[in-house]
Amino acid sequence: MEIIMSVAIGFLFMAAVYLMLSKSLIRIIIGTGLLSHGAHLLLLTMGGLGGNSPPVVADGVKISDYADPLPQALILTAIVISFAVTSFFLVLAYRSYQELGTDNMDLLRGTEDYE
């Protein structure tokens, strides 16, 4: 399963990078969203996908049967942080639409007399 997941994560990264290289601001943010999904899944996969029961103490479950809780805690923290950054980024994009009237990255190059 880990091998299939690795390939899928590679695919997510590929799509994310392709979107980040595009011209439209909103596609770039979609790309970052995909990139964080890929990173979270990578964390989970690298921790190992074994374990038969969720990491909540229950009677009659052997210690080795719990899924690894540490990657899950790390991913939870990462999800919240990426959410904070994404929402900030989105509002930034929204404000720049309002002020600058464009979402084309090719036009967002500083002012004309900058040279």
Partner 1 sequence: MSLVFLIFLPLLAALFVPLLFKKFGKIHTGWFVLVVPVILFIYYVSLLPTTVTGGTLVSEFQWIPSLDISFVSYIDGLSLLFTLLITGIGALVVLYSIFYLDKHREQLHNFYVYLLMFMTAMLGIVQSDHLITLYLFWELTSISSFLLIGYWYTRDRSRFGALKSMMITVFGGLMMLGGFILLSIMGDTYSIRELIPQATELVTHDFFIWALVLVLFGAFTKSAQFPFYIWLPDAMEAPTPVSAYLHSATMVKAGLYLVARLTPIFAISGTWMWLVAGVGLFTMFWGSFFALKQKDLKGILAFSTVSQLGLIMSLLGASAAGYHIDNIAETTFKYAGFAAIFHLINHAVFKGSLFMIAGIVDHETGTRDIRKLGGLMSLMPISFTVAMIGAFSMAGLPPFGGFLSKEMFLTAMLSLMEFDLFSMDVWGILFPIVAWLGSVFTFIYSFYFVFHTFAGKHQPEELPKPAHEAPLGMLISPVFMSLLVIVIFFIPNLVGDWLVKPAVLAMQPFLYNSPDDIKIHVEAWHGFKPEFFMTLGIFGIGFLLFWTLRKWQKSYDRFPDTLNALYNNIVFLSDTGANRFSGIYMTGFIRSYLVYMFSFVIFIVIGTLFLTDAFAIDLTNLAPVGFYEIVILIALVGSTLTILLSKSRLTGIIALGAVGYSVALFFVIFRAPDLALTQLVIETISVALFLLAFYHLPQISRKEERMRFKLGNALVAIGVGVMVTLVALASHSQKALPSISEFYKETVYSEAGGGNIVNVILVDYRGFDTLFEIAVLGIAGIGIITMIKLRLTKKEERHENK
Q: Does the footprint of partner 1 cover residue 60 (CB under 8 A)? A: no
The Cβ of residue 9 has, within 10 Å, a number of other Cβ atoms equal to 20
- Kindly tell me the burial class for residue 16, based on how many C-beta atoms sit within 10 Å of its own C-beta (0-12, 13-18, 19 or more): buried
Q: Which of residues 61-100 bind partner 1 (CB under 8 A)?
A: 63, 66-70, 72-73, 75-77, 79-81, 83-88, 90-95, 97-99
Q: Least distance in Å: CB of 27 to partner 1?
A: 7
| Contact criterion met (CB below 8 Å) for 39 and 61 | no
What is the CA angle 16-32-69, rounded to 5? 100
User: Least distance (Å) from partner 1 to the CB of residue 9?
Assistant: 6
Kindly state the smallest distance separating residue 51's Cβ from partner 1, in Å: 6
When the beta carbons of 60 and 104 are compared against partner 1, the nearer one is 104
Binding mask 15-54 for partner 1 (x = CB under 8 A): x-xxxxxxxx-xx-xx--xx--xx-xxx-xxxxxxxxxxx
26 and 93 Cβ atoms separated by less than 8 Å: yes
